[in-house]
Amino acid sequence: DPAKTAELAYNEWYRVFCGAAVISSVFSQLREKVGEPYTSIPVDAFVFLEGGMVGWGTVCGSNAGANIVANLIIGPRTAGAEAGHQIGSDMMQWYSDTPQPVFMPKEPKVKGEIIKTTAESPLCHVSVGKWMSAAGKPLGSPERKDRCARVAASVAYHLVELLNDWKDGKYTPTSDWAPG
């Protein structure tokens, strides 16, 4: 359920931040429904994805988390499962092109509007920097933190949509990625 996943990711962001929140939001549900191997994956270990990889501002942890989830569920390209790699690429493109955040939590931790910006990049520092400039808010502000929690939830929601389409045989790639 994409909506349930997004709510889980939003709340998990405040515990483990972006990448681990995306991973936890999907795998916590699969732990209950499927069991192994999802019960053995230490999702909290992915907290290092925060801030574009331990605070370095590289690829957004939400994107990295989505790629980890897609490749663990479907399989990496080296296993002949192109869809895991393709979904990861689709997520990076979607994140880059979509005004974020998309998701609106049922009970937001920060009341009021969180403006949307388009990153035009999968990188954390670009995405957050554009938002901070447009919003006039500093990095440590509650609004920026909530924005990132909502972005993680938005990514988790869209990832589950793509994974559901893949499972149902309806997945169609949207990015320009090609194996090779």
For CA atoms 119, 123, 127, 130, give the dihedral sign. Answer: negative
Omega before 42 cis (within 30°)?
Answer: no
How many CB atoms neighbour CB 21 within 10 A?
Answer: 32
**Per-residue tens of pLDDT for the chain, all 180 residues:** 999 999 999 999 999 999 999 999 999 999 999 999 999 999 999 999 999 999 999 999 999 999 999 999 998 777 666 888 899 999 999 999 999 999 999 999 999 999 999 999 999 999 999 999 999 999 999 999 999 999 999 999 999 999 999 999 999 999 886 665
pTM: 0.95
